[in-house]
Amino acid sequence: MNPRDRIKILAAGLAGLGATTAARAENQGLVPAKPISNQPWKVVMQISDSLKQAYEGLINIQNVLELDPQMKFVVVGYGDAIEFLLEGAKTPQGALFSGMIGNLANLGVQFRACNNTLTFMNIPLSKLALEATVVPAGVYEIVKLQSEGYYYVKP
């Protein structure tokens, strides 16, 4: 048997194994997260690149909160992505960010907007989503939260 045939057979076997594992996972449903502490985990998420990153980050938070509703999230927006925290901002799919932000805020997620970015981009505070709190500097806020025990995530 030549080496290419061996690779094809191996690949077919691995594909079958993957399909079996996927089928088992489908039948099990949602697998709950197992906490390693009796205290809720605290996470600070940096959103600074784009509206696409903001959308993906908020979806990530929704997914995590389904697994562990006790987790605490602070989303810090600055730079090019600050727009997601503005009234009327739309996701890449065309939905309003305000709906996602409102739903997550109702679950305890906090949103913080960088004053330096707002000032630099000449964005009035009146355009900011009601759920957002203004902080002096986004990067400073992230570092401060990490010093308070928050885990850092950037989608």
Residues 103-123: what's their mean pLDDT? 98
Return the CATH number at 146: 3.40.1260.10
Do both 86 and 147 map to the same domain?
A: yes
Reduced to 3 states, what is the DSSP secondary structure of residue 150?
A: coil
Number of domains in the chain: 2
More confident residue, 135 or 30: 135
**Average pLDDT value for residue range 6-31:** 51
Q: Is residue 36 part of a domain?
A: no
Q: Is residue 47 part of a domain?
A: yes
Shared domain for 60 and 96, answered yes or no, is: yes
pLDDT recorded at residue 28: 60
Q: Please tell me whether residues 73 and 112 are part of one structural domain.
A: yes
Q: What is the DSSP letter of 126?
A: G
What is the structure's pLDDT at 141?
98
pLDDT digits (tens, 9 = 90+) for 52-68: 999 999 999 999 999 99
Question: In sequence order, what E strands does the chain have?
Answer: 42-47, 72-77, 110-114, 132-135, 151-153
DSSP string, 12-39: HHHHHHHHHHHHHHHHH-------SSSS
Q: What is the pLDDT of residue 38?
A: 77
Domain coverage including residue 57? 42-153
Classify residue 37: in a domain, yes or no. no
What would the two tokens of residue 3 be?
Answer: 């080496």
- Inform me whether the pLDDT recorded for 78 exceeds 50: yes
Same domain, 82 and 22: no
Percent of the chain with pLDDT over 70: 76
**3 state SS of 90:** strand
Are both 90 and 146 inside the same structural domain? yes
